Amino acid sequence: MRPSRAISAAAIFVALGGTGYAAATVGSAQIKNNSVRGKDVRNSNLTGKDVARNSLTGSDVAESRLGKVRSAVRADSAGTAGAAGGLGGAASAGLLSTGKATTSGLVKLPAVGTSPATSPERVLLRQGPFTIGVKCHETAGNPSMRLSVRSTEPGSVINGNQTNEGTATSTSAAFDSDTTFVTLQVPSGAALAVQVTTILNALGSDCAFSADGLRN
């Protein structure tokens, strides 16, 4: 074989087999650390198995370019979320959330004294400037109750009635089980709506009280 033909054959061998030879013999040991660059990797060629599990962090991902998770699309039309979006006024402002609810639980009192003046008061509910107190005493041998609603802020409005005194008080006497609704508001913006339930001669006590309300 002539020298020129030998050289040509060798060139063809290298051209056809050189790449396969390199792929078969070049490994991690032959590659210098941190020498392979992004442009050396074919575009769209890396897959999930090329990356260690749980190795990527938030700083490795451009969150602003992430699409919506498929299952999260349902949240856009969730029934409860849709209903919440349709609420207006105080409800949408959070008045109905559990963080705005307040309750006294059940308070039982024995009848003490024969009049409100001789009966000690028990605080049923205290919320901000508002205090709801209750008393249980005897009247003609039967238990009766007194409900007192107070505010420490001048200019308070209790059940629609405004007072310019330092302490606003609204009282009511009850001789039978009853439910009373009370609304309170002060110039500073605090507001409270309360339902007070009063029960006589039941639940193992002379008087029983409970208060459940919503505040802003």
- Is there a domain that residue 89 lies in? no
- Is there a domain that residue 171 lies in? yes
Give, rounded to a whole angstrom, the gap between the first and last alpha carbons of the chain.
Answer: 101
Give this prediction's pTM.
Answer: 0.52
- How far apart, in whole angstroms, are the C-alpha atoms of residue 161 and residue 177? 25
- Is there a domain that residue 18 lies in? no
Q: Which of 200, 198, 201, 192 is nearest to 210 (CA)?
A: 198
Residue-range definition of the domain harbouring residue 123: 101-215
For position 162, what pLDDT does the model report?
Answer: 78
- Is there a domain that residue 142 lies in? yes
- Is there a domain that residue 194 lies in? yes
Structural contact between residues 137 and 111, judged by C-beta atoms closer than 8 angstroms: yes
Q: What is the pLDDT of residues 97-123, one digit of tens each?
A: 445 889 999 999 999 999 989 999 999
- Is there a domain that residue 34 lies in? no
- Is there a domain that residue 38 lies in? no
- Is there a domain that residue 36 lies in? no
Show Cβ contacts of residue 198 under 8 Å, excluding neighbours closer than 6 positions: 134, 145, 147, 174, 177, 178, 179, 180, 207, 208, 209
Work out how many domains the chain is built from and give that number. Answer: 1
Positions in the chain whose pLDDT score sits under 70 = 1-27, 58, 63-64, 66-99, 163-172
